[in-house]
Structure 1
Amino acid sequence: MRPLEDLRIIAVEQYGAGPFGSVHLADLGAQVIKIEDPRAGGDVGRYVPPYAEDEDSLFFETFNRNKRSVSLDLGTAAGRGVFEQLVAVSDVVYSNLRGDVPEKLRIRYDDLKHLNPRIVCVSLTGFGMTGPRKQEPGYDYVLQGLAGWMELTGEPDGPPTKSGLSLVDYSGGFVAAISLLAGVHAARRDGVGMDCDVSLYDTAVSMLTYPATWHLNTGFQPGRTHHSAHPSLVPFQAFEAKDGWMVVGCAKEKFWARLCQIVGHPEWAEAGSPYATFASRREHSADLVPRLEAIFRQKTVDDWLTQLYAGSIPCGPINDVGAALVDEHTAARNLVVTTDHPRYGEVRQLASPVRVGDETPTYRRAPQRNEDLALVTEEILGLDAQQVVALRAAGAFGDAEPAHGANTPDTPDGLDTTAMSR
């Protein structure tokens, strides 16, 4: 039995942050049932270019493998009725919406506890369900700016810079998954569910970590550093070699002593040297770093890494994405997995880093929209064919399938994405 096989999650989710959080739970065996709005063509992630056709996209495959899908119009009484029947037999209602929308959709704990006292309602929103920004949609790019990340990223004389990946979205997804599991644990122990009010804003601000602590207690003003250097440890940064770039870091004094031997300056680590200690290297970094840069430019990345690895000094090449995916360690850790898809054939993508026990996860492609209607209505809810026909006639599953590609990012009833992922 897989770790989360006894967990059922109703996911009113779309795009990046929410689906990223729940895909790791699905990989661990949780039954994640996506509620897709038939009036909007379902999850907007189905239509994200460039690798998209009709309702299939490689973007959607990335965030939704191992999940189930049902088209359900929560704006109709019939659709709401099916949703409430699902709540009664599920553990979690999980959503990523604007902060004011869970209240409007009546998917908070107080709205649902009469159906299931143990239900856990996890809301991953841009700014939370309280506070002056709760009605604003949250996008990764905006949040990296608001939380101060962009001001810390890039070269000192360059513009504020966004991370190459949507790290607020992905971190928020992980935080939501942690909150969800903690909530389920407490609900099963105590017999009472709850709301889990998780936000991308809270996630981004909290990830300021020790620079924020330094600022709050000493007035320290974080700033951008040359070649992504560590704010206090010298050297610990990107260095250019003869044919490319690498990272070299001396997080302990023993690493510095070894590095001095390799670069031909053992005296730099000796007592009395201006570079002998963490504090003195930081004080004299404007002199030391250019000297190291000049030395590293004399040999290739491979030449340097051979020596640095032999000296057990923290280091590594700065790969492009292709190189990272074919690294021998990527293969050894089984990080590239495959699923079979009716349009794309074999789809290769990345495994979840969450590992529990020794059982090898299995992977199933992302669902077609409404593919699991029978699973939900017949197997889970026990409805008969006549009841399903009546629900369809009442608009529970949408009056008609929308034309392929008709979906737009502006979905009805406030089902805006909380975060725009790259």
Structure 2
Amino acid sequence: MNQPTILQGIKVIDLTQALAGPTCSMYLGDLGADVIKIERPGSGDMSRGYGPPFIDGESAYFLSVNRNKRSVAIDYTKAEGLAVFQRLIDGADVFINNLPRQASLDKYGLSAEACLARNPRLIHLSITGFGRTGPYADRSGYDVVAQAMSGTMDLTGEEGQPPLRYPVAIADITAGLFGLISVLGALFARERTGRGQAIDTSLLDGQLTWLSYIAGNFFATGEKPPKLGSLHPSITPYQPFKTADDKWIIVGAGSEKLWRAYCRVIGAEETLMNDPRYATNSQRNANRPTLLPILDDIMRQRTAAEWLPLLDEAGIPSGPIYAVDEAFNDPQVQARRMIVELEHPAAGLVKSLAFPGVFSDTPASYRQPPPRLGEHTGQVLGELGYDAAGIDALRAAGVI
């Protein structure tokens, strides 16, 4: 028996490509929305060409963020295609776009003002590099630019090293998640007001939120945050340690109670635990140059397999530092069913990461694999009322 979904009956028109927008629309699809992905005939979403790796010609990148969507290939730069596209938007609940320039939206009647005038209940979301306002509104922006301009690249790594890009496109993913949150909030507001609204978010906006307490520290002191590698600016010990078997584990003793428990585990009750230099977290932070070498030496005396059960038994947050393959094989990850498998007509069994929320009554659902380019064009146009002859005429004209 199929369970109801949170967004059952919500229709989303998705004019996005690459990662930020598709992340947002995929999760809307996981929550039950009918997501119609608009793509250019012949080429489609640019990420269809991202690779290697490819699985029987299908980009693994594209497959990772495009499940639970129907693909409609339509050239909206042609009048006939634009008419079809606008009809789709006029009958939708949500329209998502990542066109970088407002002028492009205005040119095709896709601006928030134009769309809301035709469909006052529409939620109109723009996800761009810098947002629709401000001096950089018309600039193109990729994830790496947002990482650079947010300050997060400057913080990453050790002092004296060049800036480091985080190896995952966190600015794209964060923008997609804030887009998701914003759409859900706007849909809730619409239940009360009956009105849709425009939402404008950006990669730079979202990436700035990653600064969180680092921003708070800067606002409080006015001092440029230092590069700390894997250390925490405000908590000690809260870092990786190498063990006797040359493996790395992480230890987070984030309170005085946990510090005392950690001292007992490592056999330092009579030394470190009673040393006034390390009596409080602030003192441990101030005396890192003397404390951390001691801890490094102690942690090298046992293997990871010896340390981790002792730390866990004492209630100290800790764990192995995994490679990606190890993470996916961890029994906790498998128990949480964080890997989704869907059968794709070309690529076979495709795996992707699940929606990370477990609902008791309205669970996320994984109904269809990432679509082939234009796979659902005829189906969706039929739902709009086009007959076979009309669809054939659009195809003959190069519109679909």
Q: What band does the TM-score fall into relative to the shorter chain?
A: over 0.9
Corresponding residue for 1:402? none
User: What is the rounded CA distance, in whole Å, between the counterparts of 1:102 and 1:249 in structure 2?
Assistant: 48
Residue 105 and residue 238 in structure 1: after superposition, are their counterparts in 2 closer, same or farther (change >3 A)?
A: farther
| Residue identity in the other structure for 2:30 | D
- Listed as ranges, the matches of 1:133-152 within 5 Å are 133-152=136-155
User: What is the rounded CA distance, in whole Å, between the counterparts of 1:326 and 1:53 in structure 2?
Assistant: 22
Corresponding residue for 1:115? 118
Is 1:158 aligned to residue 161 of structure 2? yes
User: What is the rounded CA distance, in whole Å, between the counterparts of 1:388 and 1:241 in structure 2?
Assistant: 65
Query: Of the candidates 318, 322, 326, which is equivalent to residue 319 of structure 1?
Result: 322
User: What is the rounded CA distance, in whole Å, between the counterparts of 2:130 and 2:369 in structure 1?
Assistant: 32
How much has 1:99 moved relative to structure 2?
Answer: 4.0
Corresponding residue for 2:369? 365
Query: Deviation per CA, 1:196-225, whole angstroms, max 9, x where unpaired?
Result: 011011111122112212212321321111
User: What is the rounded CA distance, in whole Å, between the counterparts of 2:293 and 2:278 in structure 1?
Assistant: 13
Corresponding residue for 1:219? 222
User: What is the rounded CA distance, in whole Å, between the counterparts of 2:107 and 2:53 in structure 1?
Assistant: 34
Query: Of the candidates 346, 351, 356, which is equivalent to residue 354 of structure 2?
Result: 351
- Larger mean CA deviation between 202-211 and 67-76 belongs to 202-211
| Residue identity in the other structure for 1:92 | V
Contact in 2 for aligned 1:33/1:67 (Cα 8 Å)? yes
What secondary structure is seen at the aligned counterpart in 2 of 1:287? helix
Is 1:44 aligned to residue 46 of structure 2? yes
Query: Of the candidates 52, 58, 61, which is equivalent to residue 60 of structure 2?
Result: 58
How much has 1:394 moved relative to structure 2?
Answer: 4.1
Residue 105 and residue 55 in structure 1: after superposition, are their counterparts in 2 closer, same or farther (change >3 A)?
A: farther
Corresponding residue for 1:194? 197
Query: Deviation per CA, 1:276-314, whole angstroms, max 9, x where unpaired?
Result: 111111111110011100111121111111210111101
Corresponding residue for 2:70? 68
Corresponding residue for 2:91? 89
How much has 1:105 moved relative to structure 2?
Answer: 3.8
TM-score of the pair, normalised by structure 1:
0.89
What secondary structure is seen at the aligned counterpart in 2 of 1:175? helix
Query: Deviation per CA, 1:358-413, whole angstroms, max 9, x where unpaired?
Result: 4462342111111111221112x12222322333344431xxxxxxxxxxxxxxxx
TM-score of the pair, normalised by structure 2:
0.94
Contact in 1 for aligned 2:358/2:364 (Cα 8 Å)? no
| Residue identity in the other structure for 1:370 | G
User: What is the rounded CA distance, in whole Å, between the counterparts of 1:272 and 1:50 in structure 2?
Assistant: 54
Residue 53 and residue 314 in structure 1: after superposition, are their counterparts in 2 closer, same or farther (change >3 A)?
A: closer
User: What is the rounded CA distance, in whole Å, between the counterparts of 1:325 and 1:25 in structure 2?
Assistant: 24
User: What is the rounded CA distance, in whole Å, between the counterparts of 2:82 and 2:296 in structure 1?
Assistant: 63
Query: Deviation per CA, 1:316-337, whole angstroms, max 9, x where unpaired?
Result: 1100000000000011001112
Contact in 2 for aligned 1:9/1:93 (Cα 8 Å)? yes
Contact in 2 for aligned 1:33/1:69 (Cα 8 Å)? yes
Is 1:175 aligned to residue 181 of structure 2? no
User: What is the rounded CA distance, in whole Å, between the counterparts of 1:88 and 1:289 in structure 2?
Assistant: 61
User: What is the rounded CA distance, in whole Å, between the counterparts of 1:360 and 1:91 in structure 2?
Assistant: 19
User: What is the rounded CA distance, in whole Å, between the counterparts of 1:152 and 1:300 in structure 2?
Assistant: 31
Task: Calculate percent identity across the aligned residue pairs.
Answer: 38
User: What is the rounded CA distance, in whole Å, between the counterparts of 1:268 and 1:145 in structure 2?
Assistant: 43
Corresponding residue for 1:407? none
How much has 1:78 moved relative to structure 2?
Answer: 0.5
User: What is the rounded CA distance, in whole Å, between the counterparts of 2:294 and 2:274 in structure 1?
Assistant: 19
Query: Of the candidates 305, 310, 323, which is equivalent to residue 308 of structure 2?
Result: 305
User: What is the rounded CA distance, in whole Å, between the counterparts of 1:209 and 1:133 in structure 2?
Assistant: 23
| Residue identity in the other structure for 2:365 | P
Contact in 2 for aligned 1:73/1:80 (Cα 8 Å)? yes
How much has 1:270 moved relative to structure 2?
Answer: 4.6
How much has 1:191 moved relative to structure 2?
Answer: 2.4
Contact in 2 for aligned 1:9/1:90 (Cα 8 Å)? yes
Which has the bigger relative contact order, CA under 8 A and spacing at least 6?
A: 1
Residue 268 and residue 102 in structure 1: after superposition, are their counterparts in 2 closer, same or farther (change >3 A)?
A: farther
CA RMSD of aligned residues (A): 1.7
How much has 1:30 moved relative to structure 2?
Answer: 0.6
Contact in 1 for aligned 2:125/2:200 (Cα 8 Å)? yes
How much has 1:229 moved relative to structure 2?
Answer: 0.6
Is 1:206 aligned to residue 195 of structure 2? no
User: What is the rounded CA distance, in whole Å, between the counterparts of 2:240 and 2:225 in structure 1?
Assistant: 19
User: What is the rounded CA distance, in whole Å, between the counterparts of 2:11 and 2:264 in structure 1?
Assistant: 57
Contact in 2 for aligned 1:256/1:269 (Cα 8 Å)? no
User: What is the rounded CA distance, in whole Å, between the counterparts of 1:387 and 1:114 in structure 2?
Assistant: 28
Aligned residues between the structures: 394
Unaligned runs of 5+ in 1: 398-422
Corresponding residue for 1:256? 259
Contact in 1 for aligned 2:172/2:203 (Cα 8 Å)? yes
User: What is the rounded CA distance, in whole Å, between the counterparts of 2:124 and 2:57 in structure 1?
Assistant: 29
User: What is the rounded CA distance, in whole Å, between the counterparts of 2:65 and 2:327 in structure 1?
Assistant: 20
Query: Deviation per CA, 1:129-157, whole angstroms, max 9, x where unpaired?
Result: 11111122111112111110011111223
